[in-house]
Amino acid sequence: MYKILTFLSLSLIFLCGCDRSESVAQKPLAADSKIRAEANLVTSNTIIQADDSGWLSHGRTYSEQRHSPLQAINTKNVADLGLLWSYDLGTSRGIEATPIVHNGMMYVTSTWNIVHALDARTGKQIWQFDPVVDKEQAGKACCDAVNRGVAIWGDAVFTATIDGRLISLDAKTGAKNWDINTIDKTYPYTITGAPRIVKGKVLIGNGGAELGVRGYISAYDVENGNQLWRFYTVPGNPADGFENATMEMAAKTWTGKYWAAGGGGTAWDSMAYDPKLDLLYVGVGNGTPWNHAIRSPDGGDNLFLSSIVALRPDTGEYVWHYQTTPAESWDYTATQHMILADLKIDGVMRNVIMQAPKNGFFYVLDRATGEFISAKNFVPVTWATHIDETTGRPVETPEARFVGKAPNMQLPGPLGAHNWHPMSYSPDTGLVYIPAQEAPHAFVHQEDYKNTNGFWNTGTEFGDLPNDKATIKALKSMLKGRLLAWDPIAQKAAWTVEHQGPWNGGVLSTSGGLVFQGTADAHFGAYDALTGEQKWRFYTQTGVVAAPITYELDGEQFVAIASGWGGSYVLSSAGVFPTGSQANVGRVLVFKLGAKNALPPLLVDNFETPEPPKMLEVSDETLAKGARAFANNCLVCHGALAYSSGLIPNLRYSAITSSKQAWKAVVIEGALAQQGMPNFSKRFDAETAEAIRAYVISVANSE
Ligand code: CA
């Protein structure tokens, strides 16, 4: 029987007298392996010294605070902020990149990993580099063909691609220095994250845990791309021998043939580095499959899933770990942004690392040892009542583990209470500014789970949305998004700004007393860092998910953000739950005081909804079979109720949907594999494909 569930792919609050010290502004390192004499070349020293004028590393500094000391733009004058220039990235898919700015140049990535080098003053293109990625790889990416930006070092720019490559380019010309492969192409690895560079080593992980991979992070020599070390985040097959004692230790926390599906634990986004402690911090993702009862049937915590792991950057040697979600079963990754800061807690200065992972708790840990200091839920959470202060482990609710239970709406859902969208920490206010959200999900055990490498392997039933307006309206009311100012010492909210829904942009804070954030409803706003009062707002036409930056050139302060609506929530749900994005034009937008330029006018498309294909005469059983197969295979990209997000072709009105032959050629013969539409023949047969077609046509005719 077809159960109606929701992949609602979907899913509170004062001021402190905190210490204002910058966390890791320590003395320059004595010796990088290749210290550059020229002051304008980027090294560990320049990143540690955190030159105020540029934005040299993904999180601005190794502490990843995403806070700038610039204050020319401040609470008193931000009302005069205006658009100086915009640059069209030539794409209509998600833009998640943080621009990097150095020496008057801005480097930003767009869809399919195209790197754009711009004059940071004018937006004039200096060069563009297209790595010509294998687009078939997008079919193996969980969450849109996105990328979060480049890294710079010396006189080179480094970019990692969706097809698993790491590339070094000449920063001035875009000429390729080297181009290496970082993945085993027989597995569905993809890269969406931005590299970080520490002590001449380019660090990069990858994604793919939904589809069946074994996670790892690797270090490569900046000069030639030679691999220096690799740290696996989960153990492999014991029969093959363990790579090191750490993997042997981790394997004791797994049961069953966990290695068959890869295990997961991909390190797809967050890193931070403390030069004084010489520790590299890596955020680790969920397991393959999600469902712990299937993945590790006789129990076990499954290290290092959903953990923060501290490593030696020179060797990749394990130092400590803290697991946020033991025996992870809900896609509760700990890959979310991590921030290093020094906080006075109970009268003692502590070197802390802070994270607000998907599971809904805000963690403060000692970053030297991994010792648990405190944790509190920053959104409503239903899977656990609290984190036990003695053990540092969550106390789960009886409903949390879903095997053999009726589905109930759980918070957070797989989209998380906070996803990849970066937060910021202001040493001035002592507050962490979090793009928080509520997007619930009903987890249901999949009775007939079978691992299919390269396809979504969650061990859970998704289920499409109920196809009636009243229920959809009720579901939409459960979807929430907010800018949350969180006091990490008191573990409580200072203030909150409610947005129209989830999936809003990353955050920047400045010593101008401001917090900047873009929103799903196509605006870019500035808020008072102490109160949350909105001080300025700009209509971006396109929803914003990326994080803003700021930089100074010729004595003037600029604020920049990349717009472009996309990512996992958008693909799966934004067609049903629209937010206000009027167009989807990937752009870089740069603002300064007194500028008054306007965005190009929107081309209003008088698009009439076409006639859907004629209903197929099929039984209710066939429709139900098609609905289930659609939900478990197609929904994550083509959207709930086949209601397109606009990022990829709309199945409801596609000519392919109206032709049985064309549908078969695409769905189970791979005719569009090169465009990123996978060949599903390993997953289901022609009859099921046709049942999916009947379901899509039925929902297209339901309007
Ligand atoms: Ca995941």
* Per-residue 3-state assignment (H helix, E strand, C coil) for 617-630: CCCHHHHHHHHHHH
For residue 112, CA distances in Å to 129, 192, 566, 588 come to 11, 10, 13, 16
CA 429/CA 509 separation, integer angstroms: 10
The answer to whether the CB of 217 falls within 8 A of the CB of 204 is: yes
532, pLDDT greater than 60: yes
- Tell me, what amino acid is at 73? I
Distance 677 CA to ligand 1 centre (A): 20
Of 155-164, 594-603, 631-640, give the range with the top mean pLDDT: 155-164
Residues measured by CB to lie within 5 Å of ligand 1, the ion: 286, 331
Distance 547 CA to ligand 1 centre (A): 20
- Of residues 163, 331, 487, 521, which has the active-site annotation? 331
Query: How many CB atoms within 10 Å of residue 681?
Result: 14
List the Cα angle 112/116/121 in 5-degree steps: 150
Assign 28 a pLDDT band (cuts: 50, 70, 90).
very low
Q: What is the mean pLDDT of the chain?
A: 92
User: Is 331 an annotated catalytic residue?
Assistant: yes
Distance 359 CA to ligand 1 centre (A): 12
Surface-to-core class of residue 478, CB atoms within 10 Å of its CB (0-12 exposed, 13-18 middle, 19+ buried): middle
Could you tell me how far CA 417 lies from the centroid of its own chain?
A: 12
The answer to whether the CB of 238 falls within 8 A of the CB of 249 is: no
Residue 442 phi/psi, 5-degree rounding, is -100, 110
Joined tokens for residue 551: 């930089």
Q: How far does the chain reach from its first CA to its final CA, in angstroms?
A: 24
Ranges 364-368, 392-396, 600-604: which has the least confidence: 600-604
Distance 264 CA to ligand 1 centre (A): 9
53, pLDDT greater than 90: no
Distance 417 CA to ligand 1 centre (A): 13
158, pLDDT greater than 50: yes
Domains of the chain: 2-593 (2.140.10.10), 620-700 (1.10.760.10)
| H or E stretch covering 294 | helix 292-295
Assign 583 a pLDDT band (cuts: 50, 70, 90).
confident
CA 382/CA 394 separation, integer angstroms: 12
Joined tokens for residue 28: 């320059």
For residue 268, CA distances in Å to 128, 149, 263, 287, 581 come to 25, 13, 15, 13, 27
CA 172/CA 28 separation, integer angstroms: 26
For residue 33, CA distances in Å to 24, 180, 230 come to 20, 21, 19
- Tell me, what amino acid is at 273? Y
Query: DSSP letter at 607?
Result: P
Q: In the chain, what percentage of residues exceed pLDDT 70?
A: 93
Please list, residue by residue across 298-326, b when 16 or more beta carbons sit within 10 angstroms of its beta carbon and e when fewer do. Answer: eebbbbbbbbbbbbebbebebbbbbbbbb
Distance 331 CA to ligand 1 centre (A): 5
Residue 518 phi/psi, 5-degree rounding, is -90, 160
Give the ranges where 649-685 is alpha helix by DSSP (H): 660-667
Q: Which of 240, 195, 165, 255 is nearest to 42 (CA)?
A: 195
Q: What is the pTM for the complete model shown?
A: 0.93
Q: In the chain, what percentage of residues exceed pLDDT 90?
A: 82
Give me the pLDDT at residue 604, please.
61
Distance 16 CA to ligand 1 centre (A): 34
CA 256/CA 274 separation, integer angstroms: 37
**pLDDT (tens digit per residue) in 479-495:** 999 999 999 999 999 99
CA 532/CA 526 separation, integer angstroms: 9
**pLDDT (tens digit per residue) in 608-667:** 778 889 999 999 999 999 999 999 999 999 999 998 888 888 899 899 999 999 999 999
**pLDDT (tens digit per residue) in 502-515:** 999 999 999 999 99
Assign 141 a pLDDT band (cuts: 50, 70, 90).
confident
pLDDT (average), residues 296-323: 98
Distance 415 CA to ligand 1 centre (A): 8
Give me the pLDDT at residue 553, please.
95
- Alpha-carbon Rg for the chain, nearest whole angstrom, is 24
**pLDDT (tens digit per residue) in 405-458:** 999 899 999 999 999 999 999 999 999 999 999 999 999 999 999 999 889 999
Distance 49 CA to ligand 1 centre (A): 34
5, pLDDT greater than 50: no
